[in-house]
Amino acid sequence: MDVDSVSSSPPLRQSSLPPSSAPVASQSSNGRSTPRRIRPSGRGSDALNLGDDEAEEVPDGDDAGARRRRRPRGQGQLNADVPIVKDAVGESVQESFETFLRTFTEEIALASTPASDGGVPVAPDGELIYIEQIHTMREYELTTLYVDYGHLLQKDDVLADAIQKQYYRFLPYIRRALHNLVAQYEPEYLKLNPTAAATDSVNLQSREFNVAFYHLPLVSGIRDLRTDKIGTLMSISGTVTRTSEVRPELLYGSFICEVCGGLVNEIEQQFKYTEPSLCPNPTCGNRTAWQLQIDSSKFTDWQKVRIQENPSEIPTGSMPRSLDVILRSELVERAKAGDKCVFTGTFIVVPDVSQLGLPGGNKAELMREAAKAGANSAAAAVGGAGVTGLKSLGVRDLQYKTAFLACMVHDVDGHAGTNVRGEDEQGEDDSEAFARSLTEPEFEELKRMVNSDHIYSRLVESIAPTVYGHDIVKKGLLLQLMGGVHKQTPEGMHLRGDINICIVGDPSTSKSQFLKYICSFLPRAVYTSGKASSAAGLTAAVVKDEETGDFTIEAGALMLADNGICAIDEFDKMDISDQVAIHEAMEQQTISIAKAGIHATLNARTSILAAANPIGGRYDRKKSLRANVAMTAPIMSRFDLFFVVLDECNEKSDLNIAKHIVNVHRFQDEAIHPEFSTEALQRYIRYARTFTPKLTPEAADVLVEKYRILRQDDASGTGRNSYRITVRQLESMIRLSEAIARANCTSEIKPAFVREAYTLLRQSIIHVEQDDIDFDEEELEGEREGERRPRATADDVEESQDVEMSAAEIAAMDEAEQSYNESMGLNGAGSSGLNGATSDGISRAGSMAPNAPPPPQPKRRMVITHDKYMTLQSLIVFHLAQVERETGKGVDRDELIDWYLETKEEDIQDVEELEYEKELITKMLRKLVKDNYLIEIRGDVQDSLPESMEESSGQPSMDSQDGNFRVYYMVHPSVDTEGSSSVP
Amino acid sequence: MHGPNNTMKCLRDPTATLHDLYNDPNGTSHDNFPRLVAEHYTQIFHTSEAFREIPSLDIRSPPTTFPDRSLVRFRAMVQDTSPSSEMYLARSPYGKCGGWGIELTEEENGEVDYTNLRECNVLWAVSVPAESAWCAEELDGSQTRSASGSTSAYLPQHSHKFPHPTLPHIGVQVKIYDTDSAEKLKSTDIVTFVGILTTESSISLSYSPADLLTARTSVSSTGTGLESRDEVPTLHVLYIREHTATLLSRPYPSTATPDADEHSAPAKVRSELISWMAEEALGGDREAAEWMLLASIARVQSRSPPLLPPSLNLTHFPSPSPTPSTTDAPPTFLPTLSTVLAQILPLTHTLPLSLDVLNKDAFVPESKEEDLHAGVLQLPQGTVLLVTEGGVHEGKLVEQGILNVHALQEVMNTQTLAYKFPFSQFSFPTDISCIVVSEGSKSALFRTNISVPLTAPKDPEAIARLYKPVEDIKLPSAERLAAFRDLLVGARAGKVHVSEETSEYIQRDFVRQRQQDRSVTSDDLIRRMSIAKLYALSLHETELTVDVWERAKAFDERRRAACASTTTSSATV
């Protein structure tokens, strides 16, 4: 028993061991220990599933005692000479674990050199991290060794498995292994007070050491804890709801017999107050009268925390489960209320002694009473204290409680480990872990989804199935659910991966439905209304606790939605000052509080899905997005995507909407057949989120190019942007590309994904602002070149183009001055180079063709969608560029119109349509000129210049000049055909 | 085997039958004994006669009137499922049956085989809130044992766990050994527990070893980990009997054929019911009574897509005229409507709002110290909630009040109620049809789907009639009353089919309207659709016909016109 002798020292004041797992029992200490012995029961299986076959009987085995002792009531008071089971497996675990600690280095390949066999710590090149840690423990006076379970798995998976499966059984051996190592490397550190040891051996105090495991591959929820998990090593995660004060816990008690005055040492406490059951003095026979000797008993720090299930793990409609976690020694005060923590340790069952506590009574007294009652019954002598005789206390049947004995606790870092959204830096590893958590059919379904074609568009169709149409918004929502990749720069700056979306639109379109869908879809989503919530309600408030007077921080919606989505309805109704308050949350993903002496930065890693009503109730297409929404530009720029949903009065869509609503009422859920169920979608998204997509070089090139185009559009002023295109939009595009890659379950961002991201971005931020191109509206703003052609007016859109100037036209004159000034400035900047037309247009010819046929307009209003405008623009520019390259000349206007009408020939069915198209192209050309895509040459180059000068004054006379000039068009020098023609 | 003798024995000594069952040589396996128990007892009390033999635990016969370990049935609403489950010894060392509060004698108690430990679920159940008297009577049957003398003295424990603590109720700790069936129980579910009634210490908080230890070492251990634990009635469940969603069951469509008996045709009954409601509670306003009828048969049809009951606001409902005698304390008069609804609906509750109620009462259940305190809105699925704003006067609404208003609004909008737990809150589905009665042209506090102005005479006498006491209500004949109830309960459970033809019609109708008037939106269609379906339900029609659609539409249009005429400015819809 040389191992035992190390710690079977006289009573110690301080101990950090859980009593039940102390490696060494007390009884070797000077023969005065109590006749307390574990009954070597024939029952082979206890809660730890110990088999008798793996244990041999030896006359004396404190080891076995240690493991048997976990039965709170199984410990009998039997004769000392009854043979006790010795756990041979335990011994070998101890040996292997010791070897592991002795030899482990990060470089696994080097660790298995033959020289390391002999138990001699032959250090390979790598650092012996655990030996180092033992030295550090001494330096900083720590008693806990932290062991990465991953290392254990890597080095010795048999050992790792054994420890995991029967943690409670092997715990004493693991600790003894550590003890031995400390004895070897830091022998001085074993004793708490080495100098005093020489003089006073009774008070010599030895340290108790703990081993804390962390990084277990799987983290379970509280709900998963079942009786079959008892005694195994596992990690659970939960939110700490309250913590007890730190108190001393009695590990080993020393008692003085009140009858004969004898001292009884090292009475191990088993989750309850345990007195010696019989005085060792053969003549005494005292069973009940004991006095605890506080100075010679061993105590440890003890704290109990209550944890509650994480919101994401609770099945719908169920209440959160709670569990007690016992923290000891150095782990106390590590977990604070409100923290989301992961605890590693073991699930245990303990008798519910708290039942014995009756209000107002002296509990210890009652315990003693109970013990007395038990002692009086001969048959109950085995029970020790506190179990028998309960009846006299009014307890009917003893109940058992579950608790979690933790050896390690750490905060959940938001984006690692057990993130609710399954986010993890470790990529593939984690997706495997997620896949493992699925049932077979779920896994099969997921596999089918991942491997199927066009998964992206099919997923989009399954999003928010109750809402009819609005596919582009659904796309955005899907990407928001997928999210981009969170990154951290080497300087430690966090780059958000969350995608913020704002939906703007007319009342009673489906904005709120989208928001509600997201909230029902994602467990960690909070729905709130901008009208009802102040900034404090959204972010966090400092609240004074009325009882204690302490200030505490109360979580707001954004914090509640940490790692989820915060859906804010009626965003525009929020005070501007409140909108500003969430700036920080949107970009930095944190919330700072400085109030009542509290300075705190709290995590709010949430995506924001906002819905806003336009100013004045309806979206005014004539105005820019910015003018339509009551939002400041900085806030707007923090949204990655803006969507405008309009209440279009259109017979066909009305019918579709009606059909949709009626069907919902007719068939309820059967009316909506999303291809994938909500659950399947949730699983897919969780799986997809395990990917961390990276840009391929080709995709990076595309990204750069697209960004350049965006910037250029911005700079050239073609888009009436609400805000400038900045790096923020570049980041948005990266995030969107990442999300698209995730939606496709791949970790490579392909050029196609970037293109899709670009399209989305254009369609939202740019398209939306430009909105539909309303030529009638355009004309109100005046023309740059002052060119006058017969055309329809804003008031009279149905008429053909042969209409003379109308009153509206004249009204436009007012604006002309202003736009003239603007365009002159731009023109000066743009016309410096003449190379624009030469770049390759041919390669893009294919991509343009499918876009060409525009959908017939419901009414012959001179409005086309921005998409169509861009298509036409690239068509014309490309054509002109080609002609220019071939002939070096511009194209005559009439020729150009004819050419255009030819390309449209198939779509034009009647004269009316022909007229429409003709008018359209005319206006189109005019707009292109105005926007510096084309230059207009009248007769010859010289003629065009003076005309622009006379614009502001000479309007009324322009029409008369019309017939006298042949008008040519050329591509404006500043236009890059690559850029403008790549519009999808 | 399951003869009357067996039933009698079960009733007399449930513990003994439990032992018998455990030791039954035929029952070879004890693997899932709790399941076996549940099946066994379900079998024994299968017939409703046998079931009625089991004494009912209710307000008239509270726990104190039963001897220890009696077999009782308890129709209850599940209030709190958050307590941690308990472990119990399923088999004593001598092979006896454990659990169900069975005492193990001292000899057996000595040693524990941990493999025999099993889990049992603990929850808290209360008598069904908002249950009308007639419904309780029908379910409980004619009670032979009525210790009516002593009942008023019964003081329920843990009354903070009942949504309306001031009303008489019973709260019981329930232990369920068949964990599978326990997992299915959710908050606000109504079930009948059949089990053995004992008294035990309440839901225990947790184990706390050091509390005992430090009792020796430190003096100040009061109130730290151990809560005061009083003895509470505990029901050890043998089996659980479920109820239909409407609690009572009535045929839909009503069995009476229109031509066979003109008198009992649904349309006739409906019309009579409307007249009666209008006459007794609404100053003769049949239109409002009809809306009231539709609102009280509305329920959640589907959550995804959301087809929720529309909330109704009855506007221009005069406040009670202050009676001279009680001037200092503003009395909260309940409108007669409240009593009338209670006469015809199985589950209905009236919530008289006042600033005091809003600011002080908890509407939302909140977990404090690991104990879920009930909130006013923790009501069973299918409750019709009448909210009166008449008692709200000028004053300040504090934070609690705002949260309460928000919670009720949330129930109206989404039929979810967010329970508060430490550091988080969770939404639980509700199914509460809300009717708000307000004095102004619209509700002061809530946004509802539909508002209906009450067009009744506003002279003091007429107002007094709206608040007339229960005694003055003229109840129809028992037979008619039963017919009213049948109509309503049946309609609540009914289903209306929308045919292809009708839907075509509705769609065309909508498109045409949109073309005529751009202000018609899809929301209008959604509202009309649900109104039309409720209209059909109230007629006990199985199909939504074009005729009913047009009638419902006209009905809705009348309401909108009335709204527009009574308010110059903003009619809600």
**Residue of A661, A673, A681 to mutate, interface with B, max B Cβ within 10 Å:** A661
Q: What is the pLDDT of residue B433?
A: 92
Facing residue for B214 by CB, picked from A247, A338, A560: A247
Subunit contact A272:B424, Cβ cutoff 8 A: no
Subunit contact A401:B429, Cβ cutoff 8 A: no
Nearest to A400 by CA among A179, A163, A71: A71
Question: What's the mean pLDDT in A485-493?
Answer: 75
CA distance A216 to A335: 19
Helix (H), strand (E), coil (C) string for B454-497: CCCCCCHHHHHHHCCCHHHCCCCCHHHHHHHHHHHHHHHHCCCE
Question: What's the mean pLDDT in A206-231?
Answer: 80
State the complex-level ipTM: 0.77
Which residues on A lie below 8 Å from B406 (Cβ)? 532
Please list the ranges in chain B whose pLDDT falls under 50.
1-2, 106-108, 144-151, 203-228, 325-330, 569-573
Question: What are the residue ranges spanned by the domains of chain B?
Answer: 4-242, 246-323+330-493, 495-573
Q: What is the pLDDT of residue A646?
A: 75
- The rounded mean pLDDT for chain A is 65
Nearest to A786 by CA among A977, A976, A965: A965
Helix A813-830 to helix A941-954 angle (10° resolution) is 150
Residues of B (2-61) whose Cβ lies below 8 Å from A = none
Which CATH fold topology does A233-353+398-415 show? OB fold (Dihydrolipoamide Acetyltransferase, E2P) (2.40.50)
**Three-state SS for B377?**
coil
A556 and A597 Cβ atoms separated by less than 8 Å = no
Subunit contact A244:B225, Cβ cutoff 8 A: yes
Could you tell me what percent of chain A has a pLDDT over 90? 0
Neighbouring C-beta atoms of residue A608, cutoff 10 Å: 25
CB-based contact, A399 to chain B, within 8 Å: yes
CA distance A926 to A931: 9
Subunit contact B212:A353, Cβ cutoff 8 A: yes
CA distance A68 to A40: 9
CB-based contact, A256 to chain B, within 8 Å: no
Element (H, E) at A610: strand A607-612
CB-based contact, A18 to chain B, within 8 Å: no
Helix A167-185 to helix A88-103 angle (10° resolution) is 50
Sign of CA dihedral A52, A53, A54, A58: positive
Q: What is the pLDDT of residue B291?
A: 92
CB-based contact, B355 to chain A, within 8 Å: no
Facing residue for A304 by CB, picked from B208, B370, B422: B208
Lowest-pLDDT choice from A134-148, A871-885, B499-513: A871-885
Which residues on B lie below 8 Å from A661 (Cβ)? 522, 525-526, 529
CA distance A25 to A4: 8
pTM of the predicted model, to two decimals? 0.68
| Count of A-B CB contacts under 8 Å | 280
Q: What is the pLDDT of residue A289?
A: 73
CB-based contact, A462 to chain B, within 8 Å: no
Question: Quick one: DSSP state of residue A105?
Answer: B
CB-based contact, A397 to chain B, within 8 Å: yes
CA distance A247 to A318: 34
CA distance A840 to A862: 32
CB-based contact, A321 to chain B, within 8 Å: yes
pLDDT at residue A943 greater than cutoff 60: no
Q: Name A946's Cβ contacts closer than 8 Å, sequence gap at least 6.
A: none
Amino acid letter at B298? A
Subunit contact B212:A395, Cβ cutoff 8 A: no
Lowest-pLDDT choice from A189-203, A444-458, B92-106, B293-307: A189-203
A289 and A224 Cβ atoms separated by less than 8 Å = no
Nearest to A950 by CA among A820, A833, A834: A820
Banded model confidence at residue A31, pLDDT cuts 50, 70, 90: very low
Facing residue for B510 by CB, picked from A245, A654, A671: A654
Subunit contact A73:B112, Cβ cutoff 8 A: yes
DSSP for A832-872, please give it. T---GGGS--GGGHHHHGGG-SPPPPSS--SEE-HHHHHHH
CB-based contact, A376 to chain B, within 8 Å: no
Which residues on A lie below 8 Å from B224 (Cβ)? 244-245
Subunit contact A338:B423, Cβ cutoff 8 A: yes
CB-based contact, A352 to chain B, within 8 Å: yes
Quick one: A843 exposed, middle or buried, by C-beta within 10 A (0-12, 13-18, 19+)? exposed
Q: What is the pLDDT of residue A4?
A: 38
- CA-nearest residue to B204 within chain A is A355
CB-based contact, B113 to chain A, within 8 Å: yes
The more confidently predicted of residues B316 and A764 is B316
Rounded to the nearest angstrom, the minimum Cα separation between A639 and chain B is 27
Question: Quick one: DSSP state of residue B302?
Answer: B
Which residues on A lie below 8 Å from B304 (Cβ)? 466, 520, 669, 678
Q: What is the pLDDT of residue A719?
A: 46
Q: What is the phi/psi pair of residue A975, to 5°?
A: -85, 130
- CATH level 2 (architecture), domain B246-323+330-493: 3-Layer(aba) Sandwich (3.40)
Q: What is the phi/psi pair of residue B6, to 5°?
A: -60, -45
Which residues on B lie below 8 Å from A507 (Cβ)? 521
The more confidently predicted of residues A777 and A313 is A313
Q: Is the peptide bond before A72 cis (omega within 30 degrees of 0)?
A: no
Which CATH fold topology does A421-499+640-709+729-768 show? Rossmann fold (3.40.50)
pLDDT at residue A476 greater than cutoff 70: yes
**Residue of B97, B201, B232, B527 to mutate, interface with A, max A Cβ within 10 Å:** B201
Tokens of A724: 């400038």
- CA-nearest residue to A404 within chain B is B207
The more confidently predicted of residues A95 and A845 is A95
Q: What is the dihedral of CA A674, A675, A677, A678, to 10 degrees?
A: -60
Subunit contact A400:B88, Cβ cutoff 8 A: yes
**Three-state SS for A740?**
helix
Which residues on B lie below 8 Å from A20 (Cβ)? none
Subunit contact B98:A397, Cβ cutoff 8 A: yes
Subunit contact A292:B214, Cβ cutoff 8 A: no
Q: What is the pLDDT of residue B193?
A: 92
Subunit contact A271:B428, Cβ cutoff 8 A: no
Which residues on B lie below 8 Å from A465 (Cβ)? 305
Facing residue for B200 by CB, picked from A396, A661, A669: A396
- Class of the A770-779+862-939+964-983 domain? mainly alpha
In chain A, which residues fall in CATH 3.40.50.300?
A: 421-499+640-709+729-768, 500-639
CA distance A518 to A151: 40
Which CATH fold topology does A127-215 show? mini-chromosome maintenance (MCM) complex, chain A, domain 1 (3.30.1640)
Tokens of A887: 């002939």
CB-based contact, B201 to chain A, within 8 Å: yes
Which residues on A lie below 8 Å from B511 (Cβ)? 651, 654-655, 658
Provide the CATH number for the domain formed by A500-639 in this structure. Answer: 3.40.50.300
Q: What is the pLDDT of residue B531?
A: 92
Rounded to the nearest angstrom, the minimum Cα separation between B460 and chain A is 38
Give whichever of A350-354, A431-435, A632-636, A733-737 has the largest mean pLDDT: A733-737
Facing residue for B305 by CB, picked from A45, A76, A668: A668
In chain A, which residues fall in CATH 2.40.50.140?
A: 233-353+398-415
Question: Quick one: DSSP state of residue B307?
Answer: B
Banded model confidence at residue A362, pLDDT cuts 50, 70, 90: very low
Neighbouring C-beta atoms of residue B324, cutoff 10 Å: 6
The more confidently predicted of residues B341 and A687 is B341
Subunit contact A508:B206, Cβ cutoff 8 A: no
CA distance A271 to A20: 8
Subunit contact B86:A400, Cβ cutoff 8 A: yes
- CA-nearest residue to A521 within chain B is B304
Subunit contact A322:B82, Cβ cutoff 8 A: yes
A303 and A245 Cβ atoms separated by less than 8 Å = yes
